[in-house]
Amino acid sequence: MSFIRTFYGDIAPEQLGFTYSHEHIVCVPAYWQERDADDLLLDDKEKSQLDVQDFADLGGKTIVDATAVDYGRRVLDVAQISKETGIQIVGTAGFNKSFLWDGKIKPELKPIIGDFETYYEWIENTSINKLTEFVVNEVENGLEGTPYKAGQVKFGTGYNMITPLEEKTIRAVARAHHETKAPIHSHTEAGTMALEQIEILKQENIPLEYLSIGHMDRNLDPYYHKQVAKTGAFMSFDGIAKIKYAPESARIAAILYLVSEGFEDQILVSGDTARKTYYKHYGHGPGLEYIAKKWVPRFIDEANEKGFDGEKLVKKFFVDNPARCFTFKK
């Protein structure tokens, strides 16, 4: 049976609808909180909800909340936003990149994972099998002891490197996939180490069509993108509106290159909106409405100008591809 797991139950893939494939909605990462990095603390449920409502008003149906346990989830707030806006939420079990693990574990997590001071201490001193059990439990029973279950499992790696503990979490997440069949998502730092991540997953016998790789547009290298795409993995272009990294023309050119090479069924698009200044209702930024309201029409224009069917591609990137990517195939 194939299904997609949301906070309020499993749905058929065709019920997913227009989807942002990598976002953050309410989260207070310990690492950033301890460093007074206020811009990275999405700590106001009501303001976040206004942005989610904007997305809903534009016809959005689903948001994949890519916030793992080490990034300060606020599960109950996100669940309430889902209920009040009607937007389906796909939650995330697993881990992020290792530099975040210096953050202190919040007290309410300790009864679940043990009396560790930091995420680093927990991951270093816990076996792969125990970490796997933790991830499986969040998929099958609920995130952080809540009834809201994860719909994907995640790992992350650093810039141009994979540390031994990051490899440990990759293997734990891979083994959790084998037990649950949950789709896998990876964080790449600045779009690096995707092929190296894939090699570890191959060692764990992961079918790569279950994998989506984040932040591919932080490394706008067409040759590299093609090598990743040839493995069969989904590729997430999730830096839309972040002009400080690259203009939209460069992202669109990279996407259309992959389309021209036959990989249009592996592309996902989202915003990774993880700062107050990215949100409309926190810091007057582009907000969750930006992609649906402004980027999609521009993409259609550019795609059509270059001889592609822009509307058809948008449906693939936001509806058809997410419906396959986030499906459990048991």
193-215 residue pLDDT tens? 999 999 999 999 999 999 999 99
Average predicted confidence (pLDDT) for the chain: 98
Confidence bin at 132 (pLDDT 50/70/90): very high
| pLDDT tens, residue by residue, 68-84 | 999 999 999 999 999 99
The whole-model pTM stands at 0.98
Q: How far apart are CA 279 and CA 22, in angstroms?
A: 14
Burial class (CB in 10 A: 0-12, 13-18, 19+), 256: buried
User: Tell me, what's the pLDDT at 145?
Assistant: 97
| pLDDT tens, residue by residue, 11-25 | 999 999 999 999 999
Assess whether pLDDT exceeds 80 at residue 52.
Answer: yes
Identity (one letter) of the amino acid at 304?
N
| pLDDT tens, residue by residue, 95-121 | 999 999 999 999 999 999 999 999 999
User: Tell me, what's the pLDDT at 236?
Assistant: 98
Tell me how far CA of residue 303 lies from CA of 153, 164, 257, 311, in angstroms.
33, 42, 11, 9
Assess whether pLDDT exceeds 80 at residue 159.
Answer: yes
Identity (one letter) of the amino acid at 212?
S
Assess whether pLDDT exceeds 80 at residue 330.
Answer: no
Burial class (CB in 10 A: 0-12, 13-18, 19+), 208: middle
Q: What φ, ψ does residue 59 adopt, rounded to 5°?
A: 100, 5
Q: What is the DSSP code (8-state) at residue 218?
A: G
User: Tell me, what's the pLDDT at 267?
Assistant: 99
